[in-house]
């Protein structure tokens, strides 16, 4: 029997609008190579950290310890899920506790 997924969490409209304003600021001002070099006099070494599909406070659903998803139920049914297994270790090769890893992959219609 298939495991029941956690309920979907919707991103509020205000959050989506704030995300769009934030992304416009990031891409056209703070990470724009011409504006940055003109204002700061040097290249922004952290440019392109925020991707085009970034949503402030995007929800995730924790399925079990260490496993979470962001896809909707419809997306999971329509495509093959990609399972990514990541370990982040400290210099002593011990797992770092309470670490959150942001992983995103945009599809062509991510704003729809």
- Mean pLDDT, rounded, for 10-35: 80
CB 6 within 8 A of CB 61: yes
Contacts with 72 (C-beta within 8 Å, 6 or more apart), sequence order: 8
The rounded distance, in Å, linking the Cα atoms of 112 and 108 is 9
Asked whether residue 26 carries a pLDDT value surpassing 60, the answer given is yes
- At residue 27's C-alpha, the angle toward residues 24 and 31, to 5°, is 140
pTM surpassing 0.75?
no
Asked whether residue 19 carries a pLDDT value surpassing 50, the answer given is yes
pLDDT digits (tens, 9 = 90+) for 41-62: 666 665 555 555 666 666 556 6
Question: pLDDT band at residue 34, thresholds of 50, 70 and 90?
Answer: confident
Specify the residue for token string 């929800």: 59
The residue that leads in pLDDT, 35 or 63, is: 35
Asked whether residue 111 carries a pLDDT value surpassing 70, the answer given is no
Asked whether residue 39 carries a pLDDT value surpassing 60, the answer given is yes
pLDDT digits (tens, 9 = 90+) for 74-101: 777 777 777 777 788 889 999 888 776 7
């Amino acid at each position: 029997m298939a495991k029941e997924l956690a309920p979907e969490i919707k991103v509020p409209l205000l959050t989506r609008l704030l995300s769009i304003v934030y992304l416009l600021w990031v891409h056209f001002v703070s990470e724009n190579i011409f504006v940055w070099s003109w204002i700061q006099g040097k290249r922004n070494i952290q440019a392109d950290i925020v991707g085009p599909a970034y949503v402030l406070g995007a929800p995730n659903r924790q399925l079990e310890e260490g496993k979470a998803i962001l896809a909707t139920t419809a997306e999971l049914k329509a495509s093959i899920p990609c399972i990514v297994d990541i370990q982040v270790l400290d210099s002593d090769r011990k797992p770092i506790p309470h670490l959150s890893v942001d992983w995103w992959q945009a599809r062509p219609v991510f704003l729809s």
